[in-house]
Amino acid sequence: MKLSLEALLILDALERHGSFAAAAATLFKTPSALSYTIQKMESDLKIKLLDRSGHRATFTSTGKLMLDKGRVLLQAVSELEQEAQYVESGWESKLTLALDASVPLKVLHPLIDAFYQQHQHTQLHFTQEVLAGTWEALLYHRADIIIGAVREPATRGGIGCLPLGWLEYVFAVAPQHPLARAEEPVPQEILRQYRAVVIQDSSKHSSGADLRILDRQKILTVHDFRGKIDAQIAALGCGFLPRYLAEPYLRSGELIEKVLDAQCHQDMAYLAWNENASGNAAKWWIQQLRDFEGFSALYQRNPL
């Protein structure tokens, strides 16, 4: 016999209870069986775990090392057993949720907290996607659930989908941007002359989707909405922003809303999931997200 979990359990019980007799009682074994197991491991590993020269056996430095490191292993084994039982009962060990870039993770903090209060053994993995990349994350199984995806795909076999509400946009420029002085509604011929700030579509298997970019319009591509807002405040370009994100900067005067000629200002946002993702964690999240009040800060239920 080499290192065994049984021997580690005995060392742990011996340290906790102080004697072979007390440890044996907690493990439902005889003191002699415990002593034999420890001596067998000492012999096999050619180490000394206990000093038996006194009235009561004490741990050697090697025994203390084995005890401390062994407890780490015992804890890992216990967690593995619990996780295996958890998965066997229908709960996933990991669940991946992809958020469209228009959805800030902090909106979901109450749900994350509520989930972990009840279910500690499912690892939640949140990723960020943009435009077509959000749908693609679901279609190519990079995510189990997607949140806030816009522009529903034409084909979505095997995908469950429901609308969350309308994501409203505002066209915004910095006060020092030339468009700030343009007469309203601003026609497309004028708008096309100025650089648009866009977020890079995260799609890996398609050409992606351009969100309200005019033909022949120059673009500045950034990686997220924080970069887009900063670039527009710095008058490096113009563009649409979700209204809820733009509002603080419109109030402060760092950005100015401009009315455009014949321009749609909203998109339906969707919650979607793979219908074969039948685990309990996925079901929990889908059910909670269906009626999540936190989305009222992002979406309008009725079109404008």
Contact status, residue 129 vs residue 114, Cβ threshold 8 Å: no
Distance, in Å, from the CA atom of 118 to the CA atom of 7, rounded to the nearest integer, reads 33
Homologous superfamily assigned to 94-164+269-297: Periplasmic binding protein-like II (3.40.190.10)
Peptide bond into 185 cis (omega under 30): yes
What pLDDT does residue 89 have?
Answer: 60
107-140: per-residue pLDDT in tens? 999 999 999 998 888 899 999 999 889 999 998 8
What is the residue type of 156?
A: R
Per CATH, 5-88 and 94-164+269-297 having the same topology is answered no
Has domain 166-267 been given CATH number 3.40.190.290?
yes
Parse the chain into domains and list their residue ranges. 5-88, 94-164+269-297, 166-267
Strand spans (E) along 67-136 = 94-100, 123-129
Question: Is this model's pTM higher than 0.75 or not?
Answer: no
Ordered per-residue pLDDT tens for the chain, 304 residues: 577 788 888 888 888 888 888 888 888 888 888 888 888 888 888 888 888 887 778 888 888 888 888 888 888 877 777 667 666 666 888 999 999 999 999 999 999 999 999 888 889 999 999 988 999 999 888 999 999 999 876 566 788 999 999 999 999 999 999 999 999 999 989 999 999 999 998 888 766 555 666 667 899 999 999 999 999 999 999 999 999 999 999 999 999 999 998 766 899 999 999 887 678 999 999 999 998 999 999 999 876 5
Q: 5-88: what fold?
A: Arc Repressor Mutant, subunit A (1.10.10)
What pLDDT does residue 31 have?
Answer: 84
What pLDDT does residue 96 have?
Answer: 95
By the 10 Å C-beta count (0-12 exposed, 13-18 middle, 19+ buried), 142 is classed as middle
The DSSP string of 156-214 is -TTEEEEEEEEEEEEEEE-TTSGGGGS-SSBPHHHHTTSPEEEEPP--SSS----SS--
Which residue bears the tokens 């309990």?
A: 280
Give 241's strand partners: 170
Distance, in Å, from the CA atom of 292 to the CA atom of 298, rounded to the nearest integer, reads 11
28-61: per-residue pLDDT in tens? 888 888 888 888 888 888 888 888 887 778 888 8
